[in-house]
Structure 1
Amino acid sequence: LIEDIEKERGIRKKNAPQYNTKSLLCLPVVINGKTAGVLSFNNKASGENFNKKDLYLASVITERISNMIGKVLKGDLRSEEYKLTVKGMEALSNAERVYKKKNGKLTDLVIEIMQSMRQSEDEIKLALYASRLYDLGLTQIDESILSKTNGLSDIDKKIIRTHPFPGVRLIDPLEPHETVKKIILHHHERYDGSGYPDGLKGEEIPFISRVLSVVDTYTAMTADRPYRKAVSGKEAIEEIMAGSGTQFDPGIVDAFTQIT
C-alpha cells in the first residue's frame, strides 16, 4: 500500500501522469508457492486514496484470482466452469455499482463490530470480503420484484428468499473456501432458528453471518426502499435491540449498540 506516490522515492516523476490519484495497491499473485506476477490497483473510482480497508479487500480478491489462474494453468478449469467464473465476476462488478453506497456504510460497521469483538485480522479480512458478496444473489432476482412500490406479495417474498442460493452459485468458481459460501448462504438465519434457508440457530450460524444479519438490517431500515421511507438510526437501533436473542445474536447486538 502506497498512500502518497509523491512521497515515495521509488516512483519517478515521469511516471506521475499515469496516476490520477496519489495512492496505489500492489499485491503478489502467488501460484504454487511462487510469485507469478503482481496485481496493481490505481486510480480509485472515488478519487480518494486507498486505505487499509481497500488493502484487506484487495488481498482477499488477489488470493482468489491467484487460485483461478492456477486452475487455468493446470487445465483444471472446465469450459462450463470458466463461463460461470466470468458470469460471477460480471455479477460482482454489477453489484458493486448498484450497492456502492450501501456497501460503504455496511462494510465500515462490519469492520468496527469485528474489531470491537477482538476478531483476528484474517477474520476481519474475510468479513470485509463477505460483506461485498453476501447479497450478490439479488442481482439474479427480477428487477420488477425488487422495485415494487406497493409492497411485496407472499410469492415475491418466497422468490427473494431464494437469493442466497444463486449468490453461492455465482461465486463458486471463484471461491475455494466453503466458509465464505456458508456465510453467504446463512446470512438470513435467525438466532432462534426461525430464519432461512436451513433454520440454523445460535452458534450453528456462522459468526460473520450473524454480524451481517445485524448490519444488513440496520442499513436496510435506514435507507429508502421503493415501498417505504427510511427510518431514523435511533429507530433502527431500537428495533434491533428488540430482536436481540430472537432474530439476532445478543453479543453482536451489544457490540453494535456500543459503536453506533
Structure 2
Amino acid sequence: MTTVGFLYPGHFAEDDYPRMEILLDSTIRLVVHHTESPDGAYAEDALRALGTPGRLAAGIEELQRSGVQSIVWACDGGSFLYGWQGAHDQVAALARAAGVPASSTSIGFVHAVRKLGAERVAVAATYSEAVAERFAAFLRETGVEVTGVHAAGVTDAAEAASWDADRVLELARAADRPDADAVLIPDTSLHTAAHLPELEEALGKPVLTASQVAAREALRLADRPAWAPRLGTLFANREQPPAPVSWGSGRAYAHGKKS
C-alpha cells in the first residue's frame, strides 16, 4: 500500500481526492488533512497567509499517524506567491518537520510540465490578473515559456468550488493558444478530477489541473508510478519518474526527492 498525504486549505474541492483515489490503483491511498482557511479570499496577502509555517505545521501530526510516505501542500497561491526559492524553502521546512519528502502543487506543476515534455504553456487562472501573472512568473523562473495568461477574476475559493464542467472548460478555452503545448489550470478549489478527459478532448492537448498535479507530485515523491487514463495525459502511461534536471535559477526538486 502506498499512502500519500495532502495539506489542503479549507473545504472546497477536497472531494477530488477520493475521486482520484478510486481512479488510481487500489493499493494507493490519498489522505487529506484540512488546514486553516479563514475566509477563502483570493487577495494576494490572504493567499500568502495560507502558507505560513504555523498553519502548515498544524496538519503534520495527523498525516504522520496515517503513515504517509510523502506530503504535498495542496495549495497554489499559498506556494507560488513565495517565488521558486521561497516555495522550496517552504516545503523543505515541511519535510524536516514531517520526516518524509514534501512538495507543493505549484512545484508539482513544473515537474508535470517537464514530464510531458511541454516547452510552451498557457495559464488558465481563476485569480485576479496580478495573482495569475505571479503564477506565470513562477513558471518562467524555471525556464517554462508561458504563451498567454487568462485571469477570470474570481474573488474567493467558494466561488471557484461552485464552477461546473462548462465553466472550467470556458476558462481553459479562453486561455488556450495555438502555440501552447499544454494548458495549466491552477487552483485546488476547482473541481477538475472528473473533467479531465472532456477538457483534453475539447482542447486537443494535455491539460494540467491542480488536484491532478498534486496527486502526481505526491506519488512521484513516494516512488510510486501510477496509470489512470481518466486522469488525463499526465497519468496516461506507466513511465517511471523522470531523471533529475535543473531549470532556471532554482533547484529542480522538492525537499527529499529529485524530480
TM-score normalized by structure 2?
0.31
Higher RCO (CA 8 Å, separation ≥ 6 residues):
2
Greater helix share, structure number? 1
Q: Flag the structure with larger Rg.
A: 1
Greater strand share, structure number? 2
